[in-house]
Amino acid sequence: VVVVVVCSMARVGGNRIHIRMELLEALKKHWFLVGLVLFILLARVAPWIGMKGGPLRPEYTVKYGAVFLIFFNSGLTLKSEELKNALMQYKVHAVIQMFTLAVVPVVMIGIVSMFEAFTSWNEHILTGLSVLSCLPPPVSSAVILTSAAGGNDAAAIFNSAFGSFLGIFVTPFLLFTVVGQSAGVPMQKIFTSLSLTVVFPLVLGQFVRYKAWDAIKSMNIPFSKISSFVLLLIIYTTFCETFSEPVDVDTLTLLELVVFIVVLLLAEMALLFVFCKAMKFPPRDTVCVLFCATHKSLTLGIPMLNIVFAGFKHLSLLSVPILIYHPAQILLGSVLMPTIKTWMAKENSKRALPRNQTQ
């Protein structure tokens, strides 16, 4: 009996150790999602740490430092040939820019008109949705997610940078057409900012790669994990800013708006996925399109609102859709990343199979 009891206890102990090992492996494998939840909880508990003016100073460390690091990292790891080839991918560029700066604003006109007729949403929130639809892609989040998912990060870099420059001219025109407002955009300031945080670090990364890539490669630096951690930092400070600002909207409308934006993002990604499959885009290009064409720039959006609606007493209501969309696009992309990676692996294996058979 004693032997049986001892064996049973040993078996139970062994099972517990096995479960713990599996749990640790799962946490290690999905460390990004675990970090995502912890960072959002931290932002909810203590938003003052990562809000503007807080100890982390995200208006400098994230807006300039993190974005600089993202594009320096991209310039360092990307082959020059990949960047050159990305410039020639006209179909990918056309799909991304046409979708985000033409299709989305036109569709949003219809959606806002429908909401005006069938919902009791505040008119200023609906105007904020129209403004949101006119914004160009961001310069950081789409690049990080594309790279982390194994997509065409060279094309993502080009479209993020090109879309931001294009937005300087196109967004004011769209705002005048869709919302009926116009404004002078501080082009020199935006050009300088984009040049310092996007173009310069990208060129610097390529220069360092050309001069010392063999030495850097031998160090086994985890570039992808660095980019993922930078993304967590961006998510954290974004949620800190969101949680720190009181929103003058009733809870039901706010929840409805969150659900609508998540459904909108999913619908856009599904539509683009089907279109890319029909166009027979390679998996890496499809991932690039999914992120770059659906993301909108908070960096350009908030300053644009402050310019266009300067002195407007309901400015906070206009900014609500943008403040929700920004963390939602990053959070949703992060959650979908494992699924996208799995799909890419399957697609790549399917494409590799015929080649192996012919050989």
Per-residue pLDDT of the chain (359 residues; tens, 9 = 90+): 554 444 555 565 556 666 677 777 767 766 777 887 888 888 888 888 988 888 988 888 887 888 788 778 877 877 777 777 777 888 999 999 999 999 999 999 999 999 999 888 888 889 889 989 988 887 678 888 898 888 998 899 888 878 877 877 787 788 777 776 555 555 566 667 767 777 788 789 889 888 888 888 888 888 777 877 887 787 788 778 777 776 667 778 888 999 999 999 999 999 999 999 999 999 999 999 999 999 988 766 766 666 666 666 666 677 788 878 888 898 899 889 889 988 988 888 886 665 555 55
Q: How far apart are CA 30 and CA 90, in angstroms?
A: 35
Residues making up the chain, counted from first to last: 359
CB 330 within 8 A of CB 235: yes
- The predicted pLDDT at position 171 comes to 79
- The predicted pLDDT at position 203 comes to 84
- The predicted pLDDT at position 5 comes to 45
- The predicted pLDDT at position 114 comes to 93
Predicted TM-score (pTM) of this structure: 0.73
Residue 284's nearest CA partner among 108, 60, 45, 86 is: 86
Q: How far apart are CA 103 and CA 219, in angstroms?
A: 45
